[in-house]
C-alpha cells in the first residue's frame, strides 16, 4: 500500500485557497496508443492537453512536462532528463520550477480534467498547518486537510489515481529528492510511500485515456462545442 490512505467525501461548500502551482505530465510514450502524442488527441473539439491546462486555470505557474506543442494559453515547458524517464522524473523536473505551498499534479490524458480538478480545488489547503505536520507521522489523518501531505482521486474501479492529485510541495520535493537518478524509471509507489495521502472518490471524473477504446468512449460521452468560432491559439 502506498502511503497512509484515508478516504474523504467531497465537500462542495469548502473551497480551497492559497497559492497553488500546477504540473501537467504530457511526455509519456503512449505505447498502448501506438506511440501517438496522446495529449494532442481531441475529445469534444479540444485536445486533452488543452483540457488539462483549462482545468488548472489560475495556477501559477502552469508547468507542462513534455515536448512543446500549440496551446490555448501560455505555459512553462520543461522536460525530464533524459526524456521518457517516467512520471516521477517528470514530477521532479516540474518541481524545479515550482515554489508555491501546494501543487496540483495532473496527467494530460483526462477527458474530464476540469471536473476532476474542481474536486481537488474544493479540498482545504494542505499547507494550512504551519509546520505541515499535524501529529504522529504514522497516524492516518482524519481532519479534512490538516496534517496530510496530499489528496488524490479514486476512479470508479477503486484505483488510486496519483496523477490527479494535490500535494504539499515541500513534501513532494523531499520525496523526489530521496530517489536516485532524479526519479528516472521510479514508480509512483516509491515516490509517495512515506506521504500521508487522503483519497477522494470521484468515479468517472478520474478516468484516463490509455487505449483507443478509452478514447472512443471519451469522445462518445463528450459534447461538442458550439460552432460559432474557436478561441485564438497562442503558442509558446
Among candidate residues 41, 25, 24, 26, the one with its CA nearest the CA of residue 212: 41
pLDDT number for residue 11: 45
Q: Which is nearest to 213 in space by CA: 25, 31, 32, 28?
A: 32
pLDDT of residue 15: 39
Confidence check: pLDDT of 9 > 50:
no
Residue 134 has pLDDT above 90, yes or no: no
Q: Look at residue 141 and tell me whether its pLDDT is greater than 50.
A: no
pLDDT higher than threshold 90 for residue 51: yes
What is the grid cell recorded at 42? 481531441
User: How far is it, in rounded angstroms, from Cα 5 to Cα 109?
Assistant: 24
Cell numbers describing residue 119? 474536486
In this prediction, residues 111-118 reach a mean pLDDT of 95
| More confident call, 236 vs 216 | 216
Q: Which of the residue ranges 18-22, 103-107, 146-150, 223-227 would you say has the lowest mean pLDDT?
A: 223-227
Kindly state the average pLDDT of the residues 36-60: 93
Neighbouring residues of 157: CB distance < 8 A, sequence distance ≥ 6: none
**What pLDDT score was predicted for residue 3?**
52
At residue 18, the pLDDT reads: 54
- Average pLDDT for residues 134-157, to the nearest whole number? 63
pTM here is 0.80
SS3 46: strand
Greater confidence, 4 or 42? 42
Higher pLDDT, 30 or 193: 193
Mean residue pLDDT of the chain comes to 81
> 234 pLDDT band (50/70/90 cuts)?
very low
Helix and strand counts by DSSP (H, E) for the chain: 6, 10
Sign of CA dihedral 61, 19, 56, 49: positive
Distance of CA 111 to the CA centre of its chain: 13
Reduce the DSSP state of residue 121 to 3 states and report it. helix
Provide the pLDDT for residue 82: 85
Amino acid at each position: 500500500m502506498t502511503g497512509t490512505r484515508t478516504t474523504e467525501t467531497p465537500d462542495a461548500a469548502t473551497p480551497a485557497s492559497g497559492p497553488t502551482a500546477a504540473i501537467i505530465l504530457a511526455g509519456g510514450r503512449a505505447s498502448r496508443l501506438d506511440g501517438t502524442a496522446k495529449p494532442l488527441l481531441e475529445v469534444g473539439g479540444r485536445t486533452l492537453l488543452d483540457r488539462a491546462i483549462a482545468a488548472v486555470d489560475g495556477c501559477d505557474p502552469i508547468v507542462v512536462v513534455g515536448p512543446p506543442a500549440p496551446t490555448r494559453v501560455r505555459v512553462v515547458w520543461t522536460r525530464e532528463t533524459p526524456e521518457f524517464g517516467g512520471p516521477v522524473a517528470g514530477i521532479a523536473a516540474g518541481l524545479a520550477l515550482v515554489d508555491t505551498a501546494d501543487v496540483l499534479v495532473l496527467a494530460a490524458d483526462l477527458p474530464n480534467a476540469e471536473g476532476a480538478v474542481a474536486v481537488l480545488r474544493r479540498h482545504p489547503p494542505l499547507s494550512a498547518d504551519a509546520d505541515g505536520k499535524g501529529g504522529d507521522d504514522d497516524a492516518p489523518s482524519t481532519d479534512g486537510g490538516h496534517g496530510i501531505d496530499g489528496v488524490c482521486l479514486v476512479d470508479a474501479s477503486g484505483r488510486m489515481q496519483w496523477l490527479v492529485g494535490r500535494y504539499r510541495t515541500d513534501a513532494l520535493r523531499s520525496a523526489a529528492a530521496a530517489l536516485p537518478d532524479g526519479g528516472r524509471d521510479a514508480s509512483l509507489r516509491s515516490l509517495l510511500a512515506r506521504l500521508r495521502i487522503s483519497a477522494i472518490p470521484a468515479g468517472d471524473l478520474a478516468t484516463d485515456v490509455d487505449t483507443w477504446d478509452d478514447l472512443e468512449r471519451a469522445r462518445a460521452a463528450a459534447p461538442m462545442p458550439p460552432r460559432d468560432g474557436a478561441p485564438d491559439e497562442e503558442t509558446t
